[in-house]
Amino acid sequence: MLNARLEAMTDHTFKRLANLLAELQPRANVPPINLSVGEPQHQPPPFVAEIVARHKTDWNLYPTFYGSPELRRACAAWVTRRYTLPAGMIEPDQQVAIVAGTREGLYSAATLAITPTESGKRPLALIPNPFYQVYLGATVLAGAEPVFLPATRATGFLPDLDAIGADTLARTQVMYLCSPANPQGAVASLDYLKKALLLARKHDFLLVMDECYSELYNTPAPPPGGLDAAKALGGGLDNLIVFNTLSKRSSSPGLRSGFAVGSPHTIMLLNRLRSYSAAASPLAVMDAATACWSDEVHVEAMRKHYRAIYDMAERVLGKRYGFYKPDGGFYLWLDVGDGEDACKRLWGEAAVRVLPGAYMTRPNADGSNDGKPYIRIALVGDLESTEAALTRMTRVL
């Protein structure tokens, strides 16, 4: 009677974590610290609350479904500045879609791309391994078979594009890439992104770029993105859709505000899909988001904060657990031998909550799980509490 694909889905990452720790009590004499969720604990820029407050009489109004013209223009202007795109390359009314957070957009991208094949074989969806759970849910529920591409230390923590077989590429309809990567923080080079887009165009699938960590970087120059590849290759934005969000850039996950950039046809179909399946952003949120995309001062402060956190982590952890300072994001991907065991010990003995790496990684064909030795730590708190958590962690492990 109910959707068999949904019945077959396994528990979401954080449900598994809750089950793992359900019978454990955290150490009682220290305050618990949660480093398992990528939820920034510091406040967004003050103007966000001020703008939302000005809309106190607007909550009885339906917002425009496609986003306000001002917000679409702000998003188009931001990507043009950020990626030094030619003027007019991104047309805000035809090539920008406003989404209620990139989770919704990334999920919709699979429905947008996947369609039954004439051969009767299930279409394929390429997903980096480790992966964001929405990629899996979106592709399976859209009817595709997920193909997990190892993204290990041996491959630079990004999928090896040259290792994807011709038969696989022939059946592929969508490929998800995240750069900077969650959880490893690896940044795809421009050559890598060009290769991915060329594969998408050669085999006619949709390359979905998840760039929600693009503004949190530890490199001298900002990381390249999918739009850089499109600019370098020409051909417009065919076979490409790029998502970004305010959740990390502006420490505003509660706004549930992001956007997609793609070809006019892709964005038209995404908006058509959303008109059936999604909700419009409130007017207050759209105005606050417009201000966020138009301001870089608060983002520079955010980057400075996370860089200080990483410097502290390097001082506390040293060379232990395979520590490295990632090029982007706000996670640590640490090799502790057994991620589940370490997670239980850290909660029970140090009141520090982290995420086992195996919960973000699907097993290989031989049953091994490349994420099993790892834990993911979200460096989302203030400097003092994060240093306390990492110090407790080293004492336990």
358: three-class secondary structure by DSSP: helix
pTM of the model: 0.96
Residue 357 has pLDDT above 90, yes or no: yes
Q: What is the DSSP string of 128-140?
A: EES--HHHHHHHH
Do β-strands 331-335 and 206-210 pair in parallel, antiparallel, or remain unpaired? unpaired
Q: Left if phi > 0, otherwise alpha if psi is -120 to 50, otherwise beta: which for 337?
A: left
pLDDT mean over 73-88:
97
* Mean pLDDT, rounded, of the chain: 95
Q: Note the pLDDT of residue 10.
A: 78
Percent of the chain's residues with pLDDT above 90 = 89
Q: How far is CA 210 from CA 3, 162, 199, 214, 355, in A?
A: 27, 21, 17, 9, 21
Q: Left if phi > 0, otherwise alpha if psi is -120 to 50, otherwise beta: which for 84?
A: left
261: three-class secondary structure by DSSP: strand
292, 252 contact by CB (below 8 A):
yes
Peptide bond before residue 130 is cis, with ω within 30 degrees of 0: yes
Percent of the chain's residues with pLDDT above 70 = 100
Q: Note the pLDDT of residue 304.
A: 96
C-alpha 13/C-alpha 132 separation (Å) is 9
Total length of the chain: 397
Residue 255 has pLDDT above 90, yes or no: yes
* Confidence grade of residue 8 (pLDDT, cut at 50, 70, 90): confident
Could you tell me the domains of the chain? 4-43+298-396 (3.90.1150.10), 48-295 (3.40.640.10)
Residue 119 has pLDDT above 90, yes or no: no
C-alpha 342/C-alpha 19 separation (Å) is 15
